[in-house]
Amino acid sequence: MMKRRWKMGVWSSGLYGNDTTCDVRDTYMFLLKEELSNEEAYRNTLEKMHEVIGSDEEPLLWFALAETQWKVGRLIPDVKEKALYWIEGKGGLELWQEDGGAGAGWLKTLEKLKQKLESPMPPEKKIKKPEEVNMNLWEINDVYAYQFNKKISEKNGVFGKYMLIQKIGEGELWASEKYVPAMRIQIYDKIFDELPTLDDLKGLRILPLDFPDRANISKDNIGSDDFVCEKEPIFMSTLMSMLKKFDYPRKHLTFLGSTQGLINTSNTRNSWNAFSWYGIDRWLHDCYREWQGFDYDTVGDGAYDYLGNL
């Protein structure tokens, strides 16, 4: 009897519609990009995914390895043999049946995989080592004006308007199988119709990069017997992630200068909070909208009280 593993994430009956096959594919490709030989990448993938061997998810490992190796022209005969063996045995079918489906979609996926593996393999493809992306671009205290420019901003009524972003520190984010430097930023809580200046920082509060409902705070219960005004930590800054160079909206950022700003330094929960440059138009406006009507104190070291309704 095969051992059970934790419940894996499943979102479709496609070959890569689950956590396990995605992990196997990504691990193997990462090792190739690190310039390991095909045999080394294969052996290292098995080592990294050793918990899958002997479990009910083992067929998924061989399916993902075989398909990925075939696609880059590196299919190892032993991997092909194991994948075809598990296809013949309808490997993984019980995982989809347990999710309430009959598994018909998964059987179609296996049939397509079999046809691919038995067809002529394409020539070996050159695998390029990925260029590292510098996520730590600004100097501490630098202030930039970000201009909303996406379609979602047209819907939100802020297209062409600006918000102020300031770098207040640095940290590390996990990317490409290692920790890399990233910058910590804070946002000033105002939307400007025209390009602002450093002088426009005066009197502005810092925008929480968080949501009131996470702390069970709502406008409805402020002032009621249910509302307790205590020091509940909220994210006042974030590390900025950038997986690809074009995620960084260089054309829509205007450097205004450097100045010491309000910094919330005691909220240690910020250590793992991260947002991405990709999608900034959406999350930046969402945070702004959610906090209008709330009063909170960000002046001073670690002051992050909800103070009530404005």
Do 157 and 255 fall within a single domain? Answer: yes
75 located within any domain: yes
129 located within any domain: no
pLDDT value of position 301: 38
Do 146 and 246 fall within a single domain? Answer: yes
9 located within any domain: no
pLDDT value of position 304: 39
Do 147 and 112 fall within a single domain? Answer: no
pLDDT value of position 92: 84
133 located within any domain: no
**Amino acid type, 197:** T
Q: Mean pLDDT per 10-residue run, the chain (310 residues)? A: 51 86 92 92 94 91 97 96 95 72 83 96 89 87 96 94 94 76 92 96 86 53 46 75 87 95 52 82 93 67 35
Do 111 and 156 fall within a single domain? Answer: no
77 located within any domain: yes
DSSP class of residue 145?
Answer: E
Do 113 and 194 fall within a single domain? Answer: no
224 located within any domain: yes
Q: What whole-number distance in Å separates Cα of residue 191 and Cα of residue 285?
A: 9
Do 269 and 303 fall within a single domain? Answer: yes
pLDDT value of position 12: 81
34 located within any domain: yes
pLDDT value of position 6: 44
Do 231 and 178 fall within a single domain? Answer: yes
Do 203 and 291 fall within a single domain? Answer: yes
pLDDT value of position 242: 86
**Amino acid type, 186:** Q
pLDDT value of position 222: 45
Angle of the 77-88 helix axis to the 58-71 helix axis, nearest 10: 130
pTM over 0.85: no
What is the maximum alpha-carbon separation in the chain? 72
Give 176's Cβ-side CA count (13 Å radius): 16
CA distance to 31, 222, 280, 301, per residue, from 18 (Å): 21, 42, 27, 44
Do 243 and 280 fall within a single domain? Answer: yes
How many domains, in total, are found in the chain? 2
Give the structural domain span for 69. Answer: 19-117
Backbone torsion region of residue 212, taken as left when φ is above 0, otherwise alpha when ψ lies between -120 and 50, otherwise beta: alpha
